[in-house]
Amino acid sequence: MHHGPQIAQAQHLTTMSDGHMGDPVNIVLIGSEADLVNGMQATGWSPADPITLETSLRIAAYSILRRPDPDAPVSDLFRFDRKQDLAFEQPVGSSPRQRYHVRFWHWDRKDDGRPVWFGAASFDERAGLSYTTGQVTHRIGTDVDAERDRIAGELGQSGCVAGTEWLDGFHPEREGRNGGGDVWRTDGRLAVLTLKTCRAAKP
């Protein structure tokens, strides 16, 4: 399996609404939106709620009560001049301050006639102040490759993947800092997974 050079040459970083750099892109899923949603849910990921007054108040209440919120919203990051089309997450323990999460953007180009979704996966390890905006935000862990590998491995084991390819050198820079001031590091590889129809539910 070999994917066209357009994927390898695509923009490799997201941006924040104020133009600061966001999190790095580290995974691509090829398939329909239904295949993507079914695959993520089959491996235990929940769609993130949109940011509203209600969900913001819920996050505050759950933080005080130390209750996990598997559907908590994620902040908006931008690619292709728009915010993410889809976002998923998994809570960690009882604290809403930690979670695994991934955002996906639909590409306006296709790969062998199939939709392409660029994803940025990272781990929220704690809450804190943004170094650039001073606002309270989640702070991501440094090892973004671990989150990429985690999703690729879970989807691969679920039976929802028809094939996997690794594109070396997708990230020319192996280290960076997002708009919140968090350092990220990578081996530079991009995981490209071709999905197949999958309706299996995780026990």
Q: pTM of the entire structure?
A: 0.82
Does 201 have pLDDT greater than 80? no
More confident residue, 92 or 176: 176
Q: Where are the domains of the chain?
A: 5-195
pLDDT tens digit sequence for 140-175: 899 999 999 999 999 999 999 999 999 999 999 999
Token pair 């935000």 in the structure block, residue? 137
pLDDT tens digit sequence for 9-44: 899 999 988 888 999 999 999 999 999 999 999 999
More confident residue, 94 or 53: 94
pLDDT tens digit sequence for 68-99: 444 455 688 999 999 999 999 888 866 666 78
